[in-house]
Structure 1
């Protein structure tokens, strides 16, 4: 080709005649060139899809209505909250609200909202949206199982202007900020709430880093990246759009299937892996163990103080001294959980370490206390007035409680105490707690505010399974729920914990630890302050 002939001239000579008319083969050439360009283009990368294993198929997944912790695992990424809690410091930081003030009497919380947020359906987020959400939760027809109680003495929401809203309470309620940082009080699109009504759980719309795509009960739940997300809170490492395109949640209700699903590559992340499997997988370079301490209550047994013989303080104390909790934790939980010493776990704000030395394992002291209480040993069994020291417990099949109870039976038999156990459905366990039909009931409740103690140890509480009636304890619990000064609250909760253990109202076993295992390809996996809910906006998946 001569230097005077350029590509443009060559192109024209190939495609057009001398009179400027298009030649037939020109179109064919264009098609060929297009095909070559397509062939040379880099292939479209596959979607960055993460599969996350859940351990329970909840009965419903509307966070304003349902109470399951399992629903929060996916939906924490669908909804934003007014504020967030920093899992490291415990401080509350801005979320959908940029700032807030609390009135001197503790009854009015005023929030100043972000102005740049939209719901996934395009609806603007504003003060009216906050009011619509809180009023929906508080409405009796909603039949909220959890969120309505988290609002405490809620009275009304006042819209001051488009981006300022005030929550009015009938009386001070210190746990409100903690409540507002949880997914159960997440902000949903008012338009979607109106449009879908009772079917909203299948069409959820939030403002979070992921959009709700599909929920098929007992099978899967899918969320997809929100490409418009730009308002993440400071607790997120990634405050913009998510790295993942899609997350699919599948249910693995049988604990025996969870490790197998990880090892087969069926899932990338699995929660609540059985302890022995978790320890084994943690030694495999293909996986990483995320052992997350859970704030709230430990696994514990409530003693019924209104039913003989556990109505005797000496008997209750003897049973605690006779329990080798270290052996239980090592045998059942593979040493992956700390021994519990009081009614709160170490991960809970306000935990009082003074309870840790109160009940060391001491079977000889246990025997002495039973002797003092009139329970004498006869042929290896404790008797009083011709009656054996026999205790009854009801349990459920979760949380390795059956395995724990087997060890308790053996340890207590060594001091002459017989423990009979009946495994029952959840409803029957609640009824036994309400009526006081048995001596022991195991239970725990997770949460980051120690006010949860009020639900179990106030004399008028719905879950007062110890049947305790202590006016001073009632006063401390009530006062702590109304104070907004954390140091004052913490001091009161220290008194509460010490009183509970002095009176031996519970037998603590182990602090709960959520054993999550993930593929080594998963990077950036972090959990919120409650230890259950992952911040998936931070997660990426390596090839």
Structure 2
């Protein structure tokens, strides 16, 4: 049955069926039907004939002047709607499926039934591919749109995660050991004063279009980062980038940077194919190519499709493909966190209850926080008011009330060994005293927050109301939130630190970072000097102390309210192996595989 015919049936049912039961005639005219279907009466007759042939309706044309025709609906609307929504989802049209249900499914259980079906649609499946062989595919639902896949402009963790699937960097940070390990570069060294760095590229690496990686691609990528990119901070103090031969890249710095190799492991330093970027211009970014473990085969408003790179230099991915479905948040899909349980092998019968599934839980390296916009006039200009706001928020109660992935109260950007035992000061009485000392007279404050932080924002709004502080909460999409926060007194969001030092510096220096843009110029200049000292530090401990002074001042002067640390979870059947959660909070695709046999008994 063609989907176009079913959609027209649903349009007619919506307009004429009303409370009429299946099989009951409804009087209509061809002109009435033409108005609903937006076509001529001649085309209406063709549509009706098609519907009759497929058993959807019975049509009794009127005979003679004044005699109206009769239309008899013979198929259940909900069944037809659910079947069509499933067909749309299977071909990747998730947004259209939800729009269809929203239009025709009011007052029914179709949306709930469709969402339940989606929970089984997503996850791991071994399916027959076009070449008749089995294809291992992982389908993931997300409510986060991809803002950009240009490494130089990425801001959100989800974008950075996808960039890491498509592109590679010169070196990588091993999350387990905290050490820098080879990637596109097999070796590297720096001068004694850490002002000259040299990287040596491995042989045999190719971009997805088949062209070999050369030092010119690296030079082009890094030079591009220096010019008008949100992450040009990564090239701070770089004075010269040279490619003395096809396999060597040499970088000179004006100031010492003893963790420049860590800088090169950042997602923003992902290496681009020079010739393809220059040739295709903006078109390149609609389907970018890199050297990474996965290649983009389709990217639209409904989904992103990735296929394994068969010649990946670090070993082919076990999965053949990944499909990421962009679920419309306005339809309230229950699977916003579904990726935590999506690693289900649908090709085998479930023999163990969910409670016995394997799981991975990690503490997200970052926090949820609120930054005050010091470039805008308002109560936040008073340090007493900012301190009062800090004291009136009970982080532990916030975690107890809201639950979900909120784990511990936050004192700073990242959790440490003491985080589970630390108590963050909360004092309602002192908060009220500070509000009076600040001369606060009840002026409303405007808080911006993304869609994923709605409940956090509304909880803070309620606590502030208890102290006579009206908060106007504005919930914005990620795209709108990133573009302009000049009218906000504060912004509530989360920071994810993929790599400790580099991502912390990024928060202070990236163009568009709420933390940077909201701080006073004097503070930003002081922070920049602290970062220079940290980069020149000869030991990790010294560097951490220097960077920690920036965070300490943010906390002491209450420019930032650190709120909670969150956890990442992934629950999956025991047969699925290689499941890890990256520091960005997402499942690493490359090493996921399925154990099809019973395994070896030890």
TM-score, normalised to structure 1, is 0.71
Cα deviation for residue 491 of structure 1 reads: 0.9
Aligned to 1:396: 449
Residue 294 to residue 468, structure 1, CA distance change in 2 (3 Å): farther
- Residues 313 and 134 (structure 1), Cα distance of their counterparts in 2 relative to 1, 3 Å cut: closer
- Residue 505 (structure 2) aligned to one of 444, 448, 451: 451
Which residue does 1:228 correspond to in 2?
311
Residues 285, 520 of structure 1: 8 Å contact kept: no
The verdict on how the C-alpha distance between 1:538 and 1:462 changes in structure 2, with shifts beyond 3 A counting, is closer
Aligned: 1:257 with 2:330: no
SS in 2 for 1:188: coil
CA gap 1:287/1:106 in 2 versus in 1, 3 angstroms: same
Counterpart-to-counterpart distance in 1, 2:310 and 2:274: 21
CA deviations on 1:321-364 (whole Å, 9 max, x unpaired) are 1111111122224364321122x1217xxx9979956x511212
| 2:320 corresponds to | 245
1:302–1:442 Cα contact (<8 Å) kept = no
Does the C-alpha gap of structure 1 residues 306 and 73 become closer, same or farther in structure 2, counting only changes over 3 Å?
A: closer
The offset of 1:144, in angstroms, is 3.8
Q: 1:361 aligns with which of 426, 434, 446?
A: 426
> 1: distance between equivalents of 2:515 and 2:533?
18
Question: Would you say the 8 A contact 2:362–2:569 is kept in 1?
Answer: yes
Structure 1 residue aligned with 2:588: 535
- 1:247: Cα distance to partner? 1.9
Question: Which of residues 252, 257, 264 in structure 2 aligns to 1:180?
Answer: 264
Secondary structure class of the residue paired with 2:204: coil
Cα 1:480–1:453 change in 2 (3 A) is farther
Instruction: Establish whether residue 199 from structure 1 lines up as the match of residue 283 from structure 2.
Output: yes
Which secondary structure does the structure 2 equivalent of 1:184 belong to?
A: helix
* Maintained 8 Å contact 1:51/1:247: yes
In the alignment, which residue of structure 2 is the partner of 1:33? none
Change (3 A) 1:292 1:443: same
1:252, 1:258 within 8 Å by CA — same for their partners in 2?
no
Please give the per-residue CA displacement for 1:239-259, whole angstroms capped at 9, x wherever unaligned: x22212222222124284252
Report if the CA contact (8 A) 2:206-2:212 is conserved. yes
Partner residue, 2:166: 78
RCO higher in structure (CA 8 A, sep ≥6): 1
Give matches, 1:104-503, under 5 Å. 104-138=192-226, 140=227, 144-146=229-231, 148-173=232-257, 176-210=260-294, 212-229=295-312, 231-232=313-314, 240-254=315-329, 256-257=332-333, 259=335, 262=338, 268=343, 284-285=354-355, 290-302=360-372, 304=374, 307=377, 309-334=379-404, 336-342=406-412, 344-346=413-415, 359-371=424-436, 373=437, 388-400=441-453, 402-423=454-475, 433-434=485-486, 439-447=489-497, 448=499, 449=502, 450-455=504-509, 463-467=516-520, 469-470=522-523, 475-483=529-537, 485-503=539-557
Distance between the aligned counterparts of 1:75 and 1:209, measured in 2?
11
CA 1:414 to 1:366, structure 2 compared with 1: closer, same or farther past 3 Å? same
Q: Secondary structure at the match of 1:526?
A: coil
| In 2, Cα distance between equivalents of 1:261 and 1:439 | 30
* Alignment of 1:51 onto 2:134: no
Q: Is the 8 A contact 2:157 2:496 kept in 1?
A: no
Q: Unaligned regions of 5+ residues in structure 1, if any?
A: 1-42, 233-239, 270-282, 376-383
**Distance in 1 separating the partners of 2:159 and 2:310:** 23
SS in 1 for 2:381: coil
Residue 539 of structure 1 deviates from its aligned partner by 0.6
* Change beyond 3 A, Cα 1:79–1:306: closer
* Aligned counterparts of 1:92 and 1:531: Cα–Cα separation in 2: 20
The number of residue pairs the alignment matches comes to: 451
SS at match of 2:158: helix
Equivalent-residue separation in structure 2 for 1:519 and 1:55 (angstroms)? 24
Q: State the alpha-carbon separation in 2 of the partners of residues 505 and 288 from structure 1.
A: 41
Local SS of the residue matching 2:272? coil
Paired residue secondary structure (1:52): strand
Distance apart, 1:218 and its partner CA = 0.9
Q: Is the 8 A contact 1:337 1:511 kept in 2?
A: yes
How far the C-alpha of 1:461 sits from its partner, in A, is 9.7
Alignment CA distance shift 1:219-1:153 (3 Å): farther
Distance 1:430 1:208 in 2: 27
Q: 1:144 & 1:317 partners in 2: Cα distance?
A: 35
User: C-alpha separation between the residues in 2 aligned to 1:474 and 1:66?
Assistant: 21
Residues 514, 531 of structure 1: 8 Å contact kept: yes
Deviation at 1:495, TM superposition (A): 1.9
Structure 2: 5+ residue runs without aligned partners?
1-130, 345-352, 597-602
**Match of 1:27?**
none
Query: 1:397/1:111 Cα in 2 relative to 1: closer, same or farther (>3 Å)?
Result: closer
CA contact (8 A) 1:288 1:519 kept: yes
**What does the per-residue CA deviation read over 1:216-244, in whole Å, with 9 as the maximum and x for residues that have no partner?**
31122222223333x42xxxxxxx22212
Contact 1:305 1:505 in 2 (8 A): no
Contact 1:305–1:312 (CA<8 Å) still a contact in 2? no
Equivalent residue of 1:360, what SS? Answer: coil
Query: How well do the aligned residues superpose, as a CA RMSD in angstroms?
Result: 3.9
Distance 1:158 1:260 in 2: 46
Cα 1:206–1:515 change in 2 (3 A) is: same
Supply the distance in 2 between the matched residues of 1:354 and 1:77 (Cα, whole angstroms): 33
Write the distance in 1 (CA, Å) between the matches of 2:217 and 2:182.
17
